[in-house]
Structure 1
Amino acid sequence: MHAYRSHTCAELNKSNVGDNVRLSGWVHRVRDHGGLLFIDLRDHFGITQVMADPDSPVFAEIEKVRSEWCIRIDGNVMARDESLINPKIPTGEVEVFIRDIEVLGHADELPLMVFGDQEYPEETRLKYRYLDLRREKLQNNMKLRSDVVASMRKRMWDKGFREFQTPIITSSSPEGARDFLIPSRLHPGKFYALPQAPQQFKQLIMVSGYDKYFQIAPCFRDEDPRADRSPTDFYQLDMEMSFVTQQDVFDTIQPVIQGVFEEFGEGRKVDTEWEQISYKDAALWYGTDKPDLRNPIKMQIVSEHFRGSGFAIFAKLLEQEGTEIRAIPAPGGGSRKFCDRMNAFAQKEGLPGMGYIFWRDQGNGMEAAGPLAKNIGPERTEAIRQQLGLEVGDAAFFLAGKPKAFEAVAGRARDEIGRELKLIDEDRFAFAWIVDFPIYERDEETGKVDFEHNPFSMPQGGMEALEGDPLEVLGYQYDLSCNGYELVSGAIRNHKPEIMFKAFEIAGYGRDEVEKRFGGMVNAFKYGAPPHGGCAAGIDRIVMLLANEANIREVIMFPMNQRAEDLMMGAPNEPMNEQLRELHLRVIPQE
């Protein structure tokens, strides 16, 4: 017999009754039934109930066993009584009578229990992650993650892509976040960087004549943590293609992402028609470039109904250039109690509040109620109701000012209203491509034009577009949104050096600076670069959605905490003086 097991803890069934077997695993739970000892023995695959009575030759040793001890047992498979069958597990019809036991690993007193659904502080869970990972939910999440990655790989190979690995240590390159720098021992005073993404390398692969590339790529960014973002590293499905248009990229990646969600979505509806929404419309309708389309609410501009009205705050505001009034329809939100609650939500978000109107039935007809309705009169409120398509029992909320100042809050208010009114279809994955991103923005304080989004995107219209108003220039850049999260980001690349130099010149970067920062790529483009484009899909976020988790750390095997610390391994830590001397570095103490 094998040294540790003849079967896993998920394999035994009625056909094994009478067999002598060997199992190894962890003590999930011990139950003492007055002289009968039952142990739920757990391994990666499942649970088998093993038991002993005083007739067992190792009963005294079994009495010493505690939770999470790692043990090996030998015994006989027996059928359970009909009344004791557990249909919830594959091994529920049998149990094993223990005839021999070996303790493979003792366990100290546990800082957290693996059995049960007790909640523990995240700091405890991360410090003892190896125990946390034994729990059923995380075992399932990590298996799901592994299966998703395997499925992505197969789907990409089936589409004619090959997987190539790009360097992990490279030069520093601004990609929109801070680099992790690595000091060079051989070149004192100089530093490498961990790649924020394989962006430049995958473009160079296209220049090198490889038509289709993909990689399950680790990316490193020194970022502030969020629930949907790791503060140090993450993985993405990275891909690039030559001789393609924007639509070609969409048509290639949609079956991969859609297929993964259909395969692992556990029956939840997966949208197959992926709408394409301009960045401008997404900001107007949803207040964000990663909208949750399960929420049917669309915001609208209603400025004309308030211009010159009796509501002086809005009327005077509209006299200023660049201001507007937007309405958030709230079907079913037509009560003062609900309106007051949403007003309080806006105040928590840092706004003075949200104006509102709600429509109620007064017996002899519909009536518009609320402070705004009184100020602007019945004709204007009726025009607003008709524009928004609202009825009795509905409401509308209003925000005013320069859109950039209130769009984000408006988007969060839209989400909150949708949740409160139960308008969101929780069992659906709703996708949309966000397209036509502006390349430039102007700093209102300095007046300087700089890049708003990816500087390497090909401008729509090429060089000709760059001769006009930079704020009107759109890029062939796109994001894929799903249920309020950005899952994919990509672009058709700017592969022509003269257009790239012009694009950076508009943002105040001279030719010398561009060649210094991106010399490797710019030089390569001088030798017959093909048109190319691609995208990257965030694996951690995809698994987070599939696992129905709200926090990305629940689907990462060894995540950092909110302060970018590894509590289990003690990172970051202080280097030894010998290491610093070898690298010609000195640490300046914080004041």
Structure 2
Amino acid sequence: MHAYRSHTCAQLNAANVGQDIRLSGWVHRVRDHGGVLFIDLRDHYGITQIIADSDSPAFADLDKVRAEWVIRIDGTVKARDAALVNPKLPTGQIEVYARGMEVLGAAEELPMPVFGEVDYPEETRLTYRFLDLRRDKLHANMMLRSNVVRSIRNRMWDQGFNEFQTPIITASSPEGARDFLVPSRLHPGKFYALPQAPQQFKQLIMVSGFDKYFQIAPCFRDEDPRADRSPTDFYQLDIEMSFVKQEDVFAAVQPVVQGIFEEFGKGKKIDTNWPLIAYNDALKWYGSDKPDLRNPIIMQDVSEHFRGSGFAIFAKLLESEGNEIRAIPAPTGGSRKFCDRMNAFAQQQGLPGMGYIFWREEGYGEGIVFDAIQNPQEKGEAKEAWHERVARKLGKWSSNSVAAGPLAKNIGPERTEAIRQQLGLGVGDAAFFLGGKPETFQAVAGRARNEIGNELGLTEKDTFRFAWIVDFPMFEKTDDGKIDFSHNPFSMPQGGMEALQGDPLNVYAYQYDLACNGYELISGGIRNHKPEIMYKAFELAGYPNDEVNKRFGGMVKAFKYGAPPHGGCAAGIDRIVMLLADEANIREVIMFPMNQRAEDLLMNAPSEPTNEQLRDLHLRVIPKE
């Protein structure tokens, strides 16, 4: 028999009854039933129940074991009594009567439990991540991640892509975040950079004559942490293709991503219609360039209804160019209580508040005089409700839609009705309003849209909805008034060189993102493969030609020797798994994540270098003042 096991802890069933077997694993749980010990033995594959009574030669030794000890069990497979069968376990029909036991690895008192899903502080969980990973939920998340990566690889190979590896130690490249720099021992004073993405290398692979590339690539960015972003490193499905337009990339990517969500989405609905939404429209309609389309609310510009109106705040705003008023429809949200709650939400987000209008029903009984004293009412029924109930019963009830709220009083019934008709609202509905320059309020408007959709039960559950966000602006104006790239600097401007002759802020790029349920899953673009267009684009962003040659000399040089049109994208592996696992925090799907301060509490990183290391690298640490 094997030194450690003849079976795993998930293999034994009724067909094995009577067999002598050997198992090894962790003590998941110990139950002492007065002279009879029950031990749940766990390994990577599952759990098997071990039983030992006072007649067992292993009883005395098993009585000493504690949770998370690693032990080996020799025993005989027995059938459980029918009343004790556990249908939730693959091994639930049997138990193993222990005849021998060996301790392979004892465990000290645990700093956190493994059995059960107890909510422990994150600092403790990350310090003892090896214990945290033994818990059922986290273990399942890591297996999900492994299976997703395997499936991605198979799907990419099936579509004719080839996997190539690109360097980890390389030169700095502008990808929108800070680099992690690596000092060079052989070249004192010079530094390598860990790649923020394999962007330049995958483009060079296309210039080198390979047609379809992919890689499950590690990427390194010194970023501030968020719930859906690691502060140091992450993995992405990196893709590049030659001789393609934007639509070709979409056609290649959708079967892969859609297939992954169908395979691992636990039966959730997958919307196979992926609309194309222009970047500016996404901000206007949803307040975000990664909209959650499970929420049906679409915001609208209602500026004309407030221009010159009696609501002085909005009317005054609209006198300045670039300002507008946007409405967030709220179907079924037509109560003052809900409107006040959403107004408070806006104030929590840093705005003065949101104006609102809600529509209620005004009713009356024709030709009937009701007196609450003379006419009996059901116990606890308000006079108005009784009035309406009787009038409806007699067929003498009429109703009108009446607008309520401070905005309605200020702008009057005609403008209010025009707003209601534009937004397609009716009795029992509401609308919220924000005004100013869109860039100052649309992010809050987007969060309010999400809040309204969730609060009113409008947002779908158990569904994945995707959308391609296209037509990103090529450039943006920075706070100091300069022109800079708004996204990937290597994207081809729509219109080529001719588009770069006018106002840079009017130039759009062949840049696209894939959004799903409020998260950005993919970012990509059709690349700028012509040196003269690249030089001009960087010139508009303040980079002279010699700076471009210095920073991107390898790629510019390659483009001068025959570069094909090419494009691609990158999909965030961690974020995809986070959605599939239905987790709110990306750390729950990463094997060894950093904490909120970008620290590895298990390995004690970052750490101080030794004096010898600093001397080898010709570095000196300046103490923080």
Letter matched to residue 307 of structure 1: R
SS in 1 for 2:27: strand
Letter matched to residue 499 of structure 1: I
Q: CA deviation at 1:282?
A: 0.2
- 2: distance between equivalents of 1:20 and 1:450? 72
- 1: distance between equivalents of 2:248 and 2:420? 41
SS in 2 for 1:554: helix
Superposed, which structure 2 residues align to 1:274-289 within 5 Å?
274-289=274-289
Superposed, which structure 2 residues align to 1:352-363 within 5 Å?
352-363=352-363
SS in 2 for 1:48: strand
Matched, 1:417 2:447: no
Question: In the alignment, what sits opposite 2:372?
Answer: none
Question: In the alignment, what sits opposite 1:104?
Answer: 104
- 2: distance between equivalents of 1:570 and 1:166? 28
2:578 to 539, 544, 565: 544
Question: In the alignment, what sits opposite 1:69?
Answer: 69
Q: CA deviation at 1:293?
A: 0.3
Q: CA deviation at 1:173?
A: 1.6
Letter matched to residue 473 of structure 2: P
- 2: distance between equivalents of 1:117 and 1:165? 38
Q: CA deviation at 1:447?
A: 3.1
- 2: distance between equivalents of 1:474 and 1:306? 31
Deviation digits for residues 507-527 of structure 1 (CA, Å, limit 9, x no counterpart): 221111111111111111000
Question: In the alignment, what sits opposite 2:396?
Answer: none
Q: Which segment drifts farther, 193-202 or 505-514? A: 505-514
1:399 to 434, 444, 448: 434
- 2: distance between equivalents of 1:116 and 1:260? 29
Q: Which segment drifts farther, 501-510 or 392-401? A: 501-510
- 2: distance between equivalents of 1:175 and 1:14? 58
Q: CA deviation at 1:503?
A: 0.7
Superposed, which structure 2 residues align to 1:509-524 within 5 Å?
509-524=543-558
Superposed, which structure 2 residues align to 1:182-261 within 5 Å?
182-261=182-261
- 2: distance between equivalents of 1:97 and 1:218? 47
User: Once superposed, which parts of structure 1, at least 4 consecutive aligned residues long, lie more than 6 Å away?
Assistant: none
Q: Is the 8 A contact 2:284 2:300 kept in 1?
A: yes
Q: CA deviation at 1:7?
A: 0.4
- 1: distance between equivalents of 2:182 and 2:51? 55
SS in 1 for 2:181: strand
- 2: distance between equivalents of 1:449 and 1:42? 59
Letter matched to residue 9 of structure 1: C
- 2: distance between equivalents of 1:198 and 1:63? 55
Q: CA deviation at 1:448?
A: 2.1
Letter matched to residue 509 of structure 1: Y
SS in 2 for 1:365: strand
- 1: distance between equivalents of 2:524 and 2:59? 63
2:598 to 540, 564, 573: 564
1:471 to 498, 505, 515: 505
Q: CA deviation at 1:18?
A: 0.3
Question: In the alignment, what sits opposite 1:36?
Answer: 36
Q: CA deviation at 1:469?
A: 1.8
Q: CA deviation at 1:472?
A: 1.0
Letter matched to residue 558 of structure 2: A
TM-score by length of 1: 0.99
Kindly name which structure, 1 or 2, has the bigger radius of gyration based on alpha carbons: 2
Question: In the alignment, what sits opposite 2:381?
Answer: none
- 1: distance between equivalents of 2:313 and 2:238? 49
Q: CA deviation at 1:442?
A: 2.2
Letter matched to residue 267 of structure 1: G
Q: CA deviation at 1:362?
A: 1.4
Deviation digits for residues 206-253 of structure 1 (CA, Å, limit 9, x no counterpart): 000000100000000000000000000000000000000000000000
Q: CA deviation at 1:470?
A: 1.3
Question: In the alignment, what sits opposite 2:517?
Answer: 483
Letter matched to residue 437 of structure 2: K
Question: In the alignment, what sits opposite 1:426?
Answer: 461
SS in 2 for 1:38: strand
Matched, 1:390 2:446: no
Letter matched to residue 538 of structure 2: F
Question: In the alignment, what sits opposite 1:143?
Answer: 143
2:587 to 553, 559, 565: 553
Question: In the alignment, what sits opposite 2:608?
Answer: 574
SS in 2 for 1:18: coil
Question: In the alignment, what sits opposite 2:378?
Answer: none
Matched, 1:587 2:621: yes
- Length, aligned pairs only: 590
SS in 2 for 1:362: strand
Question: In the alignment, what sits opposite 1:24?
Answer: 24
Question: In the alignment, what sits opposite 2:51?
Answer: 51
- 2: distance between equivalents of 1:371 and 1:40? 64
TM-score by length of 2: 0.94
Q: CA deviation at 1:564?
A: 0.2
Question: In the alignment, what sits opposite 1:527?
Answer: 561
SS in 1 for 2:288: coil
Unaligned runs of 5+ in 1: none
Q: Which segment drifts farther, 242-251 or 508-517? A: 508-517
Q: Is the 8 A contact 2:203 2:240 kept in 1?
A: yes
Deviation digits for residues 21-64 of structure 1 (CA, Å, limit 9, x no counterpart): 00000000000111100000000000000010010112111100
Q: CA deviation at 1:453?
A: 1.7
Deviation digits for residues 52-106 of structure 1 (CA, Å, limit 9, x no counterpart): 0010112111100100000000000000001100000010010000000000000
- 2: distance between equivalents of 1:414 and 1:491? 29
Letter matched to residue 210 of structure 1: F
Deviation digits for residues 119-166 of structure 1 (CA, Å, limit 9, x no counterpart): 100000000000000000011000000000000000000000000000
- 2: distance between equivalents of 1:60 and 1:95? 19
Q: CA deviation at 1:418?
A: 0.6
Letter matched to residue 46 of structure 1: G
Question: In the alignment, what sits opposite 1:172?
Answer: 172
Q: Is the 8 A contact 2:117 2:137 kept in 1?
A: no
- 2: distance between equivalents of 1:64 and 1:130? 23
Matched, 1:462 2:496: yes
2:485 to 446, 451, 459: 451
Letter matched to residue 427 of structure 1: D
Percent identity, please.
Answer: 79
Letter matched to residue 68 of structure 2: E
Letter matched to residue 610 of structure 2: M
Question: In the alignment, what sits opposite 1:496?
Answer: 530
- 2: distance between equivalents of 1:171 and 1:201? 11
Q: CA deviation at 1:299?
A: 0.3
- 2: distance between equivalents of 1:440 and 1:100? 72
- 2: distance between equivalents of 1:151 and 1:117? 28
Q: CA deviation at 1:174?
A: 1.7
Question: In the alignment, what sits opposite 2:470?
Answer: 435
